[in-house]
Amino acid sequence: MPEIPLLDIQRQNQTIQKQLHQAAAQTIDSGSYILGHATQKFEKEFGGWVKSPYTMGVGSGTDALMFGLLAAGVKCGDEVIVPSFTFMSSALAIMYIGAIPVFCDVEYEHYTLDPRAFKSAISKKTKAVMVVHLFGQTANMDEIYKICKKSKIKIIEDACQAHGAQWRNKFAGTLGDAASFSFYPTKNLGGLGDGGVLTTPHKAVYEKSLQYRNLGRTSMAVTTYEEIGWTSRLDSLQAALLSVKLKKLNSWNVARQKIAAVYSRELAGLNLGLPIARTHAKHVYHLYVIRVPGGRRNELKTYLLEQGIRTGVYYEKGIHEQPLLKKYRHKKLSLQTTEKLSSEVLALPIYPGLTSREQMHVCKSIQKFFGS
């Protein structure tokens, strides 16, 4: 059997190749490339899809996080609690604005922010919490809401891996004061380059963020600069391509859910920790991440590669262990779960277009590894 990649973006793109080419050609012919019609159209479409009152296209998910923090009132020297079991961008966005990341542990079975650990991490300097909806599933928002309301803490959602995930029938990206989505090509909704979106229920956050993305002004026509801004705009070409792909996102997410269901059925009973979908939540399986206990993760990864199966490790270490961030580790806050997960997690191939034959090869190879 040919090699099975961890992700094959082209399988999705090839199904809509004609539409993508048409959208690109129309945008090129329009002559409007920055904050033009295509960007405005996609902002309206994505905002309607996720049911966000305000939606703004930016250059990346990282920028959306940074703008959301700033617009929500986080300032230099403020503390922002963030799970250590996440991608580096979550912490970098906090550091870019001079705030202090306070690393928090996660729940072992769900990989997202542990409300008990979050509560323990709060100090007088805590201004916000960055809730990371990881691998396609939301955090436990009921408990997080209770803590934030009592302590008057802002909620910034990192929804970069959660396009379509839901908590109590509300979409990720509409559960806090501001949220970030990434359109990096590997995401459930991925562009053909970089891009992101900020969503928020607050008009004031939206209007501030408009200035941050465009050199401190609200539009290209404005010549008055009231804020220190950046050049971070979702360009028209990416927006046009994303509009095409957005129409397929629901069906693509269903395909991911079906693949996940097969994995969970075929791998049940093995000495593995399988993803568990939360009650009251909708999981969209950006990644299907298993846990391999007993120090055998790397052994299984090597074995699968010998069978022509690519896998991935997300994440090999908590971000508190990165050289740049070690100084921010709070000695009194335990990160044992993060460190345990980093030695156990393994992502299996999951993407629309993965065939049943390929998936069964993955499952049977894992079963054989465990002697089942």
List, for residues 288-299, the tens digit of each pLDDT value. Answer: 999 999 999 999
pTM of the model: 0.96
Taking the C-alpha atoms of residue 308 and residue 335, their distance in angstroms, rounded to an integer, is: 34
For the chain, list the domains and their CATH numbers: 9-246 (3.40.640.10), 249-369 (3.90.1150.10)
Phi, psi values for residue 83, rounded to 5°: -65, 145
34-70: pLDDT as tens digits:
999 999 999 999 999 999 999 999 999 999 999 999 9
7-19: pLDDT as tens digits:
999 999 999 999 9
**Over 80: is that where the pLDDT of 311 sits?**
yes
Taking the C-alpha atoms of residue 167 and residue 169, their distance in angstroms, rounded to an integer, is: 5
Q: Are the CB atoms for 122 and 81 separated by under 8 Å?
A: yes
Quickly count: other Cβ atoms within 10 Å of residue 142's Cβ: 11
Query: 284, exposed or middle or buried, with CB in 10 Å at 0-12, 13-18, 19+?
Result: buried
What token pair was written down for 163?
């396009």
Q: Which of 311, 312, 308, 292 is nearest to 357 (CA)?
A: 308
Q: Which of 48, 284, 328 is nearest to 160 (CA)?
A: 284
Banded pLDDT at 222 (limits 50, 70, 90)? confident
Taking the C-alpha atoms of residue 304 and residue 227, their distance in angstroms, rounded to an integer, is: 52
pLDDT at position 330: 81
13: three-class secondary structure by DSSP: helix
Beta strands in 250-363, from DSSP E residues, in sequence order? 281-282, 288-291, 345-348
**Over 80: is that where the pLDDT of 269 sits?**
yes
HSE-up of 336 (CA within 13 Å, CB side)?
A: 3
Residue with tokens 């201004």: 127
Residue with tokens 């026509």: 221
**Over 90: is that where the pLDDT of 150 sits?**
yes
Q: What is the CA angle 279-284-290, rounded to 5?
A: 80
Residue with tokens 């804020």: 227
Beta strands in the chain, from DSSP E residues, in sequence order? 54-58, 79-83, 100-104, 126-132, 154-158, 166-167, 170-171, 178-182, 196-200, 281-282, 288-291, 345-348
**Over 90: is that where the pLDDT of 328 sits?**
no
Residue with tokens 């729940």: 107
What token pair was written down for 323?
């050289």
**Over 80: is that where the pLDDT of 372 sits?**
no
What token pair was written down for 184?
């990096």
What token pair was written down for 296?
């055998």
Mean pLDDT across 267-293 = 97
Residue 52 makes CB contacts below 8 A (sequence gap 6+) with 46, 171, 173, 174, 179, 199, 200, 201
Query: 323, exposed or middle or buried, with CB in 10 Å at 0-12, 13-18, 19+?
Result: exposed
**C-alpha distances out from residue 5 to 152, 280, 300, Å:** 45, 32, 16
